Structure 1
């Protein structure tokens, strides 16, 4: 059977039309109109490409062609305006003798089992599980093929699509379905909503011959619904929602439990704030379901804790949250400051007193006592940190020893003034009603607080503060008294104090109304001097039992103190009432406190003076003294003015005429200076409280109108080269002036590289100053100086031109672009030395370069022109020639300093690579005889350890053929033995020598050669095979042939002959050659001779003759790939004798001759008279007749049409038509075609037309044809 390429779709068209014909003879004729050509629309034969992975192990074995069966296609009908087209049925070929039938006994092959888009994981049972959810259906895919045998001894029966199964672990099966879009592939998908784990044992397949195969899979697949799995996970916690006390439950901690029964296995469970190692996880697998139980103790942390429980399925990257569990733990009993007090009644007079550390409330009625417990009494954990705990449940207390307990609820919560701090807070308020019908002392005490977790706080343990209260009745009136002021210094209306004032106000009464105590000014009273009310503060409260009144009669004494040290005028008022509304009041005189000394300020009309040596004016000035103090002592305060005249005399004046009023803050005294000199003002101010004296003494000011006198001299005035000095220089500047300003008289130095040493100004006389500037550091300098005094006078500018101080010898430093050499001192590339000279006065012309005495010394390069940046000058020496180098450098600068001599290291420049040569075998040679190469490598500085030689074959890889290595003077010679004369040794070889010298120069040479003793293989293209088979063609195609050889071809000749004559073909013009393969791989050459070379009729033969580099010669004919075919595009030649268009022949019968010739050979000749065949000859019959035959036209009154058609072996046709032929013995007027007879109209043939026709004789016997038709087709 044919295992070649499939036949291409026949794109020809078929036209059938039936036409009735009235016959006048006993013949039935069918005319068939052929298409123009027989291939596909592009005239290209089908070609099957050779797959990349189909390597030709032995090309000779595949050179034999196999016959290709041509399938007969069914007719194809189309609608619309297209004509109906039917493919011509070719005449069946003779069938060869049938071979015996061989039964298919090979089972199908099952392969490529996969699980589609499913992911996989390894479960806790170490089982590989493939999984997918309902949104991404799970499927099993397998490739099942019933393959043809390699020897084609029988036809495979094919896979039975109804007997391909998935086999489960319990040996049950499920039918797999064939994939429509993937050839030979079957799939199985679990039923919808059948969520579970499937244990896949294997896959079983049976072919149509009953052969069965089965492969083992042993995989578990998990088909699950994510929402259902998530719904089968539950979580719980001990005492969920209730408060829990670990200490009250014997130390047992609450536990979180997670349970799950899922199709896809849970990989892990995580609980927030709980270490994964503390979670006890138990897993199991039963009946296709994974089970999991996880338990973990919560943390014993007080307060409400939320634990987020999450899970992660096997195969997932991220966890998913299932829910949050709350666990509330309270291990700490409440602690609180409890307040016990009576509920007040509006407008009721009552008294709350504190006696002997007890708070006592006085009432004259029945009273409700309120117990205030802070709502946050249970908000601190065992560490004392704030936390949200269970809260208060109940309060236990005693009333005069009787115990009571009351539960609390949200109804007992009130927001009231905070009992222990500012603001307001939430309290649980418990009410206890006391009966006060008689005067009785009630004592109420809170003894215990219990929270909702069962923790109890006892007052006996100190966890409850306060929580007690006493309540009595009492009615008395208050007594008020104010003591004397201590240490007053006063007159009738004032008392003056410097150190502050202090005193005591005492209020005594049985039931003082503390809220009535007031220190406010009586309404309507006026105060002077912006006096302030001084308010005393309570300093003591005491309780006393009056012996004569009994134990229940108590007296309260309130003591208030007042004191202040702030400056000001004060008045103290005091008033108080008892609970019955009685009261008293009193007042002090004006108390003046002034601890602040007078504030003195002196103003000058020219601005503030900076001192006698800093402030200078040229005219008299107004001086104003301002003093701020309400209580200035004008008798004790004084202003002193001191004047120093130019002649040195000194005079002091005292002034006391202050302008101002007692109690007013501002006082002022003014005067004007007289004459030049130095003025200085001093002030002493004292107030009536004794503060002071406040002393101010200004620095004064001076008058000066003369500019400074400046002189300058510089030593060392003998430079080299105009401005260069190799010693330090010193400049000395002298100034004479009355008010010389040192800060404003600084030289303006411009200095580069070095820094001058400038001294401070030194006063050498009364009005003489001196400064020195030392230029003792290398640098470039220039400077100017202008001197000024404090009065604003300035001298002229003194200038010194630029000069250079250079006392340092040049410093030479040499660096290289390549510091480290190969093997210490060898360099294989150009080495560039950077010569740097650090010097202020450098001149490149003064640099001297010398040569060290070394062997094999190279020519020393010159230093390129120096480039200078600041004090560094840089030049370069380029060592680019082979040789040994050592040199010295010395430099003198413009200041005459001489450097030390620099001496370089000795190094070698070796830019010459080692030499490698091969002998015995030429590079890129092809060899079919003795192959024994040798390699030699030489270098002056050879590095023997780094030198390597290897031999590698393109197919054989590294090869060991045996070799002998011998040393030479500067290297080695390696000689290889002759390669074995065996077919497997045919290969492309690379002999590679890598030679390295001491400088790192490397020469890598390779000898590429082939061992080729067996030549090429030729393979014809598919289209070319068709040409050979058909032989006669009228539509040429491209000819292709492929040649495969281990070596490159040295000679290629494509020889084309036509009718035995050689036609010269030029490469790339008449044919192309495409080559694949490299110097180190096998070579493939594809020759393409375009169809344009076969345009001329003739018998063609194509020969490819080649020689390879191994001198093997071959051609396609000798390799069973001969190409021979005939091109005939010329129709046969028809010549008639005795026949002429429109002629009348006066005979009873007229005979004419027909001669047919063709360049290749005539296939047939047919003669028609009026559409009826009168003569029909085959090619053989014509050959026997010598290509000339005769035909006869009988007498008739009608004209005749004679049609002659001939077809050659290539299918070309020639047609001749003669109209108006009359054969009659009668006289006729006129002649011509009367429109009767002739070629049937259906043929569409007109006079002189040439149409390519295939004449098919449907019957040659006598009989009536009832109809005829035209069959048009395009042949494959």
Structure 2
């Protein structure tokens, strides 16, 4: 019994395995007694099914009485050799072919062959537990936002896992490995036996998968062509940053700002970006720029440049369907425009008479108004320049009135003459600030000014002293200086006179010789005249006053000494120190008296302000003794009372000591000039011995005569010569 030598392979039991039908050639021989009977059968061992069976009977005459076979050789009537070909078509493993022949002598011979036939091609299949992907990009690949597990199935009876060629790649890293194969046997239909394995795709990556298989019989399965898919489990990350974060009141910006949108995503797709960009009241909103990519980082920008209230939101979903965390919608305002500030009703640099053409008094006022769509506040200030300096007049502004998108202050009438300074600061919620108000100038031009300056002159000129002159007004000076006075008038001056009074003398001053003028005139603006009176006019001691008289083009007559102007200018120049005369006290004299009343005369050419007398007793030298506090003091009030009452003042020196005496008289005039006189080394005592020791021949000399000194004494009779009274403020 022979079977084909060319086999496809071996089955798992080691039997020959064929892809197709197998022909078994049988040769039966017996040369002694010849062949009597041949029996064969084909059996599927695993099921016990006999699929073919035949008995061939050879008669004594040497012919085949039953069955079919080929007689190869005979010996007369004996068939010594018989041939039979058995075609096995079973599609099974473990097929057994058996043959038995019996010779004429009754002896049996048996032989069998076992092999397998597999004519069925393997079937490959792959299935996944996760087939949910975004269909929008399936032409590109399949994107999955969760991991997936593939189950590989090979339907095959003669399986060898080494013949399963599985190719898996991952562009983002290492590829997963295939698990072990598991057999699922089908005994009723072994060709439906399956082998399964799994591949787990849990890591992110761009994967490919392909599979081929050939069974042990050489049957080739239809390949599973390459499959591509992506596992992307990471949600995109959106970040929005701004180049300008200097917000006022959280959402207001006074400069434009650029938003930089950054999306971190591996599987990026711009069509999935959903932006909301809106501007208030259907205004034009900016667009987002194109994205530029650097690996997985993708950036774009949005420029918010114009004044507007913007609303911005962005959402993004990647190709796998992963959605970025929701960003809170943001609304903010870009406001680069300064608030508007206007002044009406008054002209900048204007002089206002407050009278109409018929000389009737009219109101002088103004309206200050500020507005802005994002108005925050208005802070105005009104100041009045007076003789004493700048006076705050914010109280004249009253309360703010609300207007659309802003505030206004309305001042109906400024009653007091003078120069007014109006300033204001308006701010919006973005922090824009404006101090420059739009105002009409006196010449009709409309300009912006940070300070509105105007004058109210209902009563003619307004007079102002400069700082140095203001300090000396009403004062006594020890040194003369230039005098500066400024005159401001609604109209230009057509006449002016400067008159200087010194004591009882009057002098008309001449321009260019006694004073000079700086003028600012014309075009409806204020008219200013700055007079500088030279100090040479005040070189002599005396009481001075200055009268500045003018007539303007409207025939208003003004003088600085008028009650309505209140700029009377008076001062005194006193360069001479006071005079002090002690009439009954001398150095180194002795006076035998229980008490001596010292008399003195003190005089000043202008005004005596104060007199002090100091007294001290001592032994030895006068320089060894110091004065304490003043023994007597006459202030200006006492001095004036003494002058009015023509009183004498006596300073007593007690004679109950044998020590020496000294006194110091200090006189100060109103200009601050001081004179000191000292009398020392004299005695006032009841003892005649001191007199003898001091004078030698005279037992008790009495000092006589008058001593002229440069100061005032303490403890004296004080005689003041009364001068003509002159009032000096």
Q: TM-score, normalised by structure 1?
A: 0.20
Q: TM-score, normalised by structure 2?
A: 0.32
Q: Decide which structure has greater strand share.
A: 2
